[in-house]
Amino acid sequence: MKAANSPDTKIYPHVTYDDVIHALKTKLYTLWQNQWEKQSNQNNKLRQIKPITKKWPDPPVKLTRHEEIMIPRLRIGRTRITHSYLMRRELKPRCETCNCELTVNHIFLECPTYNNARPKANINTSSLKDAVGPGQEKNIVNFIKMANLTTNI
Ligand SMILES: [Zn+2]
């Protein structure tokens, strides 16, 4: 047993319960982030939108309950219009205009049907991450309303 005044002995004066919890949380968040980055599936849609595991800030605007539900559905890419075929045991839906697979990415970034709604709602079309990321909540809601997709999300 080492003496308390040995140079090898670590002394932690005033280490509080909160200090320990903070250190543990920091370590766990780091492990979680590393695990998230090591995912072998490069096509992980959620990671493309949210590359960091840290919680996104709360929306800068007050949202209705329906909007609070709609936004995460759009962010994970699972909406009524794109995924209800699973429950109905039908084929994947295709865009009526473009005849391609109907996805949230297609609706927000590609489909010419919504070319007028995107700039009016200030949708950032550089990437899906920029279109539906944090701080974009009101633009997302406005776009969905202008695109007349409210009941389809
Ligand atoms: Zn289309």
| Confidence at residue 13, expressed as pLDDT on a 0 to 100 scale | 77
What is the distance in A from the centroid of ligand 1 to the CA of 88?
22
Q: What does the pLDDT look like over 91-136, one tens digit per residue? A: 999 999 999 999 999 999 999 999 999 999 999 999 999 999 999 9
pTM for the model? 0.79
Identify which of 116, 135, 132 has the alpha carbon closest to the alpha carbon of residue 50: 132
What is the distance in A from the centroid of ligand 1 to the CA of 103?
9
For residue 138, the tally of other CB atoms under 10 A from its CB is: 16
Q: Quick one: DSSP state of residue 112? A: G
pLDDT surpasses 80 at 11: no
pLDDT surpasses 60 at 4: no
What is the distance in A from the centroid of ligand 1 to the CA of 99?
7
What is the distance in A from the centroid of ligand 1 to the CA of 148?
14
Please state, rounded to an integer, the average pLDDT across all residues of the chain. Answer: 91
Beta-ladder partners of 94: 101
Is residue 80 within 8 A of residue 153, CB to CB? The reply is yes
Q: Quick one: DSSP state of residue 44? A: -
What is the distance in A from the centroid of ligand 1 to the CA of 153?
16
What is the distance in A from the centroid of ligand 1 to the CA of 45?
19
pLDDT above 90 coverage of the chain, percent: 74
Tokens 């219009």 map to which residue? 81
